[in-house]
Amino acid sequence: MAVERTSLTAPGAEVLRGLCGGAVHLPGDAAFDEVRVPWNLQVDASPAAVAYPAFPSEVAEVIRAAASVGLKVAPQGTGHGAPPLAGRLDDAVLLRTSAMTELQIDAERRTARVGAGLRWGDVVERAGRSRLAARHTTSPGVGVVGSSLGGGLSWYARSSGLQCSALTAVEVVLADGTFVRATDTHDSDVLWAARGGGGGFGVVTALEFDLLPVRRVYAGMLAWDWKHADRVLRTWAEFAGDAPEAVTSIARLLQAPDEPWLPADVRGRRLVVIDSVVLGDSAEAERILAPLRALRPEIDTCADVAAAAAARLHLDPEAPTAVYANSIMLADLPDRAVEALVASAGPGSQSDLLFVELRQLGGALSRPSARAGALDRMDGSVLVLAVGTETGSGWEAVRAQVGRVTSMLEPWSTGSVYLLMADDEAEARRGWPAASWQRLAALRAQVDPRGMFVTPHA
């Protein structure tokens, strides 16, 4: 993935060489073109340097060195959310946190302590051994810190709220290189910002958060050929509006690639899919899902399983992949909205998007969390996410297809944006209530007055 460069290094970047025990790479170094690549291969990032600190003290060294020569710092875990950073890293050090892999599970207190380099799959597996569950994303390959700072939708969201509201402590290195451990009693403004503020106030090195006393769930996939999309999605919309908080579900129009990591009955097919996780015993879960099963799905994998199995229910790719995604928050999903969705991305639409999914919100997500945070609820009843991979038509065609989906659903939009699921730069203030946005802006100005940190959405 090499790119041509007229200048090998940004002015002053050599001051970083030798830091982090030598785990700093500059343009022209043998490993540079490998280490600068994020999970989302759509992005061809060209930072001034890439640093891999293993400890908070090394993070502080990188920050101070970068500041001394006028460079910025862009913290990054996995790089799932890298697209909004494209073209903005020429004067920044890409600070990769993957070497910070601490993981502690306290089964008695039902808490986790997680280093900034951990992915959700690691946490889910370890917590499961203690008969606990985390508020993890639908992909085990997503970084814990990035998704937690941005909000964090999980399979338990409608019963337990956002992952960011589970945070009890955050450890962060600020723009002046100082280390802070923020809790509700010490540096509480920093913890408030970490609860859904999206970052931009420092480099998070570790998080602590509550786990859920969930050992088993009733979970799985229901799927039909996508010619049934209109009927299935209308039924799902009615189901989602009335369902108890014990269930969190996602409906999708899926054009599955012919890849070996997918189940054989899904591979290479066009399907309408409903994934669900239900808390409670099997009898109650079957009663809840009965309206969907009445549509006689071709595929039905729903069953009582260990909670950790939900981590891979959604069949998200775990290997680095080139994708483009954008989303829209809807106040409701009437029949006309379903018609618009199917017309823009379903049978006969000429769309070749990988999937367009509808995430069921409401329940605990619609209520303020008991723990104050920058983002403590979701504004809307459905979050629609459209994702595409490059075809022969190029990325502009993918963006146009995603844009068609979101524009056709605009009449039902709340106007809010879930920034974790927006690959284009979005107006950041739309990611939070007005009061939270103002408080976030004031805090960032206080702890990072010179704008040291590069955030995905400026």
pLDDT exceeds cutoff 70 at 377: yes
Mean pLDDT calculated for residue range 70-97? 89
Q: What is the pLDDT of residues 114-155, one digit of tens each?
A: 999 999 999 999 999 999 999 999 999 999 999 999 999 999
Q: What is the pLDDT of residues 396-446, one digit of tens each?
A: 999 999 999 999 999 999 999 999 999 887 788 899 999 999 999 999 999
pLDDT exceeds cutoff 80 at 107: yes
Separation CA 111–CA 399 (nearest Å)? 40
pTM of structure: 0.94
β-strand partners of 252: 273, 357
- DSSP assignment letter at 328: E
pLDDT exceeds cutoff 50 at 2: no
Q: What is the model's pLDDT at position 458?
A: 64
Question: pLDDT band at residue 4, thresholds of 50, 70 and 90?
Answer: very low
pLDDT exceeds cutoff 50 at 103: yes
CB 91 within 8 A of CB 72: yes
CB 314 within 8 A of CB 250: yes
Mean pLDDT calculated for residue range 340-367? 97
Q: What is the pLDDT of residues 187-229, one digit of tens each?
A: 999 999 999 999 889 999 999 999 999 999 999 999 999 999 9
Q: What is the model's pLDDT at position 392?
A: 65
pLDDT exceeds cutoff 60 at 270: yes
Which domains, ranges and CATH numbers included, belong to the chain?
Answer: 13-96 (3.30.43.10), 103-213 (3.30.465.10), 216-421 (3.40.462.20)
Separation CA 232–CA 291 (nearest Å)? 10
CB 192 within 8 A of CB 131: no
Q: What is the model's pLDDT at position 42?
A: 87
Mean pLDDT calculated for residue range 58-75? 96
pLDDT exceeds cutoff 50 at 174: yes
CB 411 within 8 A of CB 448: no
Q: What is the model's pLDDT at position 9?
A: 60
Give the number of other Cβ atoms within 10 Å of residue 358's Cβ: 26
pLDDT exceeds cutoff 60 at 278: yes
pLDDT exceeds cutoff 50 at 5: no
Q: What is the model's pLDDT at position 428?
A: 84
Mean pLDDT calculated for residue range 248-253? 98
What percentage of residues in the chain have a pLDDT greater than 70?
Answer: 98
pLDDT exceeds cutoff 70 at 48: yes
Mean pLDDT calculated for residue range 165-172? 98
Tokens representing 168? 């009890």
